[in-house]
C-alpha cells in the first residue's frame, strides 16, 4: 500500500475556494474513510489508529481536515456545516472509488450521515462506524440545551460567542452563521435510511453527546441493521486502548 503523504485538493469556487489537506493511502477494498469531530483534525488518536488498522490489512484509507480545521485553509469562524459537508463530498468523490466503510467521530458522525444520504445511490458505502455521533448538535445540543438566554442573545446580536475550550488551547467561536446553517442539515426530525449496516459506539459518561442523543439516531434508522454499543465508563473521546479496540472490531465486522 502506498504511503498516505500529505496532499491538498481545491474545493469550492471563486471566493469560496479553499485548500483541503488530505492523507490517502491506496490499498484493497473496502477502504476506510475518516471524518473528524468539531474542532478536531486527522492527526487525532482515532484517525491515526484507523489509518494504521487499514495499513495492517493492506486496505485503502482516507482522512482529511475540514476547512477551518487542522492544515486546511480558512479560519474556523469563517466556516459552517455546509462547507464541511462540501469538503467531505469532494474528498469522498475524489478518493473513494470502490467499496468504502465510513468512520465518523462526534460531528463526524453527523457529516457521515449527510454523506450517506447524498451518496447512497452510488452503492459504494458498505458500512458506517459512528463514534459518539453528534447529529444535529448545533441545534439539539447547543442551541436548545446548553446555551443560556445570554449566549443566544450574544449570537443573535453580535453574531458570535466564544465558548471556553475543553479539548484545545483556544476558545471555540460559535457564530450565528454556524447555527443558522446547521438548521439546513437537521436529520433527527424524520425517519432515515442509509442502505448499509451501522455501528454506533457511545460512552455512557459522555458529557458532550449524551447517550440518549446517540440513541435517537439509532431509533431514526428503523430500516437499517443498527448495533448500539454503550461503553459504561466511556467519555466523549473514546480514545483509550480498549476504546480503539472496540472501534477496530466494529470496522472489521464490515470487512
Over range 57-79, report the average pLDDT. 97
Over range 19-48, report the average pLDDT. 97
Q: How confident is the model at residue 15 (pLDDT cuts 50, 70, 90)?
A: confident
Contact 197, 224 (CB under 8 A): yes
Name the 3-class secondary structure at 50.
helix
Helix orientation angle between 81-95 and 107-119, rounded to the nearest 10 degrees? 60
Q: How confident is the model at residue 130 (pLDDT cuts 50, 70, 90)?
A: very high
C-alpha cell at 173: 467561536
Neighbours of 113 (CB within 10 A): 27
Name the 3-class secondary structure at 121.
helix
Measured in degrees and rounded to the nearest 5, phi and psi for residue 189 equal -95, 10
∠ Cα 236 79 3 (to 5°): 65
Report pLDDT for 168. Answer: 64
Q: How confident is the model at residue 218 (pLDDT cuts 50, 70, 90)?
A: very high
> Average pLDDT over the chain, rounded to whole?
96
Report pLDDT for 1. Answer: 47
H-helix segments, the chain: 45-56, 81-95, 107-119, 137, 149-158, 176-182, 211-219, 241-252
C-alpha cell at 21: 489537506
165: which DSSP letter?
Answer: P
Residues present in the chain in total = 255
- On the question of pLDDT at 208 being above 50, the answer is yes
Report pLDDT for 133. Answer: 98
Give me the residue spans of the domains in the chain.
6-135+192-252
Over range 17-43, report the average pLDDT. 97
Q: What is the CA radius of gyration of the chain?
A: 17
Ranking 4-13, 57-66, 76-85, 164-173 by mean pLDDT, the lowest is 164-173
Pairing of strands 226-231, 160-163: unpaired
Query: What is the value of pTM for the model shown?
Result: 0.96
- On the question of pLDDT at 172 being above 90, the answer is no
CATH for 6-135+192-252, among 3.40.50.1820, 3.40.462.10, 3.50.50.60, 3.30.70.1450? 3.40.50.1820
Amino acid at each position: 500500500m502506498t504511503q498516505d503523504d500529505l496532499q491538498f485538493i481545491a474545493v469550492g469556487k471563486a471566493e469560496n475556494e479553499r485548500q483541503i489537506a488530505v492523507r490517502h493511502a491506496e490499498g484493497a477494498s473496502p477502504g476506510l474513510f475518516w471524518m473528524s469531530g468539531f474542532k478536531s483534525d486527522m492527526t487525532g488518536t482515532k484517525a491515526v489508529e484507523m489509518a494504521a488498522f487499514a495499513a495492517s490489512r493492506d486496505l485503502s484509507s482516507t482522512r482529511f481536515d475540514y476547512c477551518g480545521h487542522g492544515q486546511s485553509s480558512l479560519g474556523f469562524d469563517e466556516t459552517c456545516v455546509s462547507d464541511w459537508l462540501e469538503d467531505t463530498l469532494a474528498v469522498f468523490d475524489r478518493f473513494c472509488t470502490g467499496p468504502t466503510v465510513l468512520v465518523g467521530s462526534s460531528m463526524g458522525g453527523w457529516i457521515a450521515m449527510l454523506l450517506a444520504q447524498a451518496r447512497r445511490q452510488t452503492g459504494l458505502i458498505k458500512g458506517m462506524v459512528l463514534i459518539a455521533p453528534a447529529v444535529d448538535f448545533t441545534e439539539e445540543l447547543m442551541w436548545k440545551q446548553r446555551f443560556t438566554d445570554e449566549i443566544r442573545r450574544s449570537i443573535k446580536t453580535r453574531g458570535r460567542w466564544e465558548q471556553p475550550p475543553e479539548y484545545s488551547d483556544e476558545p471555540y467561536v460559535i457564530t450565528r452563521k454556524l447555527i443558522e446553517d446547521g438548521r439546513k442539515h437537521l436529520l433527527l426530525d424524520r425517519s432515515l435510511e442509509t442502505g448499509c449496516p451501522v455501528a454506533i459506539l457511545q460512552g455512557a459518561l459522555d458529557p458532550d453527546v449524551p447517550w440518549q442523543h446517540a440513541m435517537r439516531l439509532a431509533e431514526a434508522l428503523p430500516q437499517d441493521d443498527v448495533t448500539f454499543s454503550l461503553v459504561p465508563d466511556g467519555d466523549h473521546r473514546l480514545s483509550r486502548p480498549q476504546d480503539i479496540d472496540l472501534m477496530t472490531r466494529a470496522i472489521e465486522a464490515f470487512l
